[in-house]
Structure 1
Amino acid sequence: MKKVTKFLLNKIPRPMLIKMSIWARPLIYKFYKGDQFYDPIDGRSYRKFLPYGYGKQRENALSPGTLSLERHRQMWLYLQNETSFFTKNAKVLHIAPEQEFLRKFKRMKNLNYISADLFSPIVDVKADILDLPFPDDSFDIIFCNHVLEHIEDDAKAMSELYRVMRPGGWGIFQVPMRNSLEKTYEDFTITDPKERQKHFGQYDHVRWYGMDYFERLRKAGFTTEPNFYSQNFSDEEIKRFGLSRNEILPVVFKK
């Protein structure tokens, strides 16, 4: 059963899995119901989380109910514990939205929530991150997670995100990072999908970000520092929430 689960999770794209999980949730919850793990996004407890990973499998990474990964649950906990996101009125731009977040955020009465992407059929606005169709200083909050690693000219993308964020605004820009890298590893001559998988961890990625990611964000105008938010939790909580202790949450601000 474990091998079958791993095969399906790696062969079926997560967006499709999320769509399938919406109608299957009652059955999924009944099968995985327990008290060992807790998903803060749906507020439910499970006997286990599922393994996930394109290469080496990470145990207890994928929540059965929301199909959230470690980074999604970390972001949710940050929003819940450290911000007024769920209560204060705000205009929000979400680039290439995660489907579970999209579903929940669109229901929130305090948000003027706009989703955007160049290819996704589920977003509000078809938009190229290199040329966003919004006026300057439009949004209080911007989410742009696991997008920039696909973009060769990430400096231009960052400058566009900065342009459309209002002064006093903030955002979360998660990317695949290797904390052991001082400098980002990128090579645009590598175009073969198999070679990109080998070098960058995924067939459509163009880089692995290193710790200089934050300097790139600062060059675009943002104020930011590495935020190891998961380390605010105890070892027991990290295990229960299914977090990664050393994963960085890139929170940015515009003064």
Structure 2
Amino acid sequence: MNFKKLILNPELYANIAYKRIRNRVRVLCYRGDIVVCEICNWRGKKFFKGCCPKCNSLPRTRLIPFSLAYFKLLNDTPKLLHVAPNVNEFNYIKDKVTPLDSYDRLNIRPVKHINIVQDLTNTSLKEFSYDLAIAWHVLEHIPKDQQAIAEVYRLLKKGGHFLVSVPIYPLENMTTFEDVNLPYEDYERIHGHYDHCRSCGLDYYKRFEAIGFKVSQLLVKDLETEFVDRFGLRTDHVVWCFTK
């Protein structure tokens, strides 16, 4: 947190303090058994605009534990590679996914909870090192995503899995679109986010098949409503489980 910015901007400080107090109140006053956040184990009456009041997890983050169970990946994942996890993802895996012989977190930039600072498109890691890899709303940020996919394929053991989710933009978009000549300043207008270098479609899995992966798919919209509501998921999200 930039404390200098807070000092120079008292309104920002007040807003952060207000949100923290508000969330603490919500955690206590909205306790119940209607919804469950598997990231922090909070149980309550509802999520707030998709967010958990205790850990601020988003629907896409809460989809990780659901997907691990859905694809039955929790029983045999002793060596895990997690690509650019956020803090909530890291804490969930570290505290709740066991047993793990090793849990490596890779990012191109140094971050406190990251232990491997390398470019996913060209790592120095040994091949056949991991049983499972996870990349959650990451690949849409990587220009050479097919090189990254091929690198994960190299790092996985035979029979290993690569669990992936990317945002589909626009909603229900069928065909992935990218233009390598598109200026960075146009990313948000074309791809819906200032740092997304492509608009992923529901056909995005084909890039993994081309590398050699076999694919299984989870469309949240096809789940029973009770699961979507209880875990606070979003029906426009998609998850693929790729197997080497």
Tell me what 2:43 maps to: 45
Q: Distance in 2 between matches of 1:105 and 1:35?
A: 23
Cα contact 1:96–1:120 (8 A) shared by 2? no
Aligned partner of residue 207 in structure 1, secondary structure:
coil
1:130 pairs, out of 115, 121, 127, with 121
Unaligned runs of 5+ in 2: 1-11
Deviation at 1:40, TM superposition (A): 2.4
Distance 1:176 1:202 in 2: 10
Aligned to 2:53: 64
Larger radius of gyration: 2
Match of 1:188 in 2: 180
Does the 8 Å contact 2:168/2:236 carry over to 1?
A: no
> Whole-Å Cα distance in 1 between the matches of residues 92 and 227 of structure 2?
24
Cα shift at 1:202: 0.9
TM (norm. structure 1) is 0.77
CA contact (8 A) 1:40 1:73 kept: yes
Measure the CA separation in 2 of the matches of 1:84 and 1:149: 24
Q: Please tell me whether residue 94 in structure 1 is matched to residue 85 in structure 2.
A: no
Per the alignment, in what secondary structure is the counterpart of residue 251 of structure 1?
strand
Partner of 1:221: 212
Give CA deviations for 1:16-36 in whole Å, capped at 9, x if unaligned.
Answer: x9xx97xx9866622543444
Which residue of the other structure, out of 13, 27, 36, is the alignment partner of 1:29?
27
Match of 2:120, as an amino acid?
Answer: I
Distance 2:220 2:72 in 1: 13
Q: Which runs of 5+ in 1 are unaligned?
A: 1-11, 52-60
**What amino acid sits opposite 2:81 in the alignment?**
L
1:141-220 → structure 2 map (5 Å cutoff): 141-178=132-169, 180-193=172-185, 195-220=186-211
Q: What TM-score, normalized to structure 2?
A: 0.80
Q: CA RMSD in A?
A: 2.7
Percent identity, please: 26
